[in-house]
Chains A and B, each alone.
Chain A
């Protein structure tokens, strides 16, 4: 357990650094930002303590918020994503899934993994940009931000997944 926590802390800090130093500065067409750190929450395996997943989501979001001056936005959205992840993962199980199955393309199959990831990233982006805009007056921009960021994040996550250690 301790080793697992240390490992997740390490991975989490790498995601934070990459996001703060590189990805947060990317802004395509004035609205699209990649949100690779959602991957951190998606990676949580099946059967992991639910409360701990939520806590990881919150801590990760808090770290991102602190680094990019968006108090509360990423933490609220990522806590929600982390809360939903254990329920969603049950919907996309392969036939003979182990109780502690990893949430990876290798263990779940690409189609299941892609479906799980897409839903979670879409949920996160929708929540994040809703909190950021906080009104529906500029819904075209909201829609563009959510769609664009979801697509870009998914491309990044699938690329990382291809190179993920087995």
Chain B
């Protein structure tokens, strides 16, 4: 007994070292295997606040550029509005218009600011300053003025962590604008501006420079949100489908203002789908 005690007092730092390494290991595998705790992440209140301060300081210095971008965007939208107005005047009896109006009114957009952002890790995450108190829930889509950003992974009261396109776990369903061939968007690490669209059927006609948009199948994003442009056409690993290299339209390195798409009909579809799956698995 005395020997044991002597041993323990002499080598207690070894035990402590091993114990703490085990704790770190637990954190590592829990935190990175998709069930990360809200406590040890940037979604908790203290680190959220720190990140918010630093990002607001950063934002202040970026205001000039932001202004330029906004002006540019404004001009573009103005032109688009003008064109649409003319089109509406030309065919005001079109029935499509009446169909799309109620569809658009279903969307509720929650504006949010990115307070912490990563682009160079193998699996990036970003944090926004809106949480459950503002109506943000997990599995909602996040977009910005330039295109898709990602999907809300978890939300605390005032902050939420988003899995952006630049994460190996992100699989966003998308389609080629015009031809509507669909596939899913994955990121394979490396450059922050490039992702791949997988599972595009081999009989599809694709061309470099064509636009890719969300397909609307995923119950997270509405159809038609810009994803990016095709820069290269390659084969998938098994050779059964095309793998298209996409230049993302969203500049993740300079992401500031985003919108959470809180759309009741999408959420409803999602719950319906889950319920259907549950009942199917019960009858089996």
Contacts and interface: CB of A to CB of B under 8 A. Distances in A.
Q: Do A and B assemble together?
A: yes
Interface of A: 17, 20-21, 27, 30-31, 49-51, 53-55, 57-58, 61-62, 65-73, 75-76, 79-80, 83, 131-133, 138
A30 to B, nearest CB: 6
Given A17-B50, A71-B40, A51 B25 contact: no
A161 B42 CA distance: 31
Given A71-B31, A75-B27, A80 B54 contact: no
A21 B54 contact: yes
Interface stretch (B69-77, B118-126, B138-146, B276-284): B118-126
Interface residues of B, number: 35
20 contacts: A17-B50, A20-B47, A20-B51, A27-B119, A27-B120, A31-B120, A51-B16, A58-B20, A66-B47, A68-B42, A69-B42, A69-B125, A71-B28, A71-B30, A72-B28, A72-B30, A76-B24, A79-B21, A132-B122, A138-B189
Contacts of A66: 40-42, 44, 47
B40 A67 contact: no
B281 to A, nearest CB: 32
A72 B13 contact: no
Given A17-B50, A30-B120, A71 B27 contact: yes
A108 to B, nearest CB: 22
Interface of B: 12-13, 16-17, 20-21, 23-32, 36, 40-42, 44, 47, 50-51, 54, 116, 118-122, 125, 127, 161, 189
Point out which of B30, B31, B161 has the most chain A C-beta atoms below 10 A from its C-beta.
B31
Nearest to B192: A30
B42 A79 contact: no
Nearest to B118: A69
A73 B13 contact: no
A75 B29 CA distance: 13
Contacts of B127: 69
A83 B29 contact: no
A48 B54 CA distance: 35
Per DSSP, are chain A's interface residues mostly helix, strand or loop, or mixed? helix
B20 A54 contact: yes
Contacts of A51: 12-13, 16
Contact of B32 (A17, A61, A71, A80): A71
A12 to B, nearest CB: 15
Contacts of A131: 28
A28 B25 CA distance: 28
Nearest to A63: B47
Contacts of A50: 13
A75 B44 CA distance: 18
Contacts of A30: 120
Nearest to B24: A76
Given A76-B28, A80-B21, A54 B13 contact: yes
Given A30-B120, A65-B31, A76-B28, 4 more contacts: A20-B51, A76-B21, A79-B17, A80-B17
B42 A133 contact: no
Most buried by A among B28, B50, B54, B120: B28
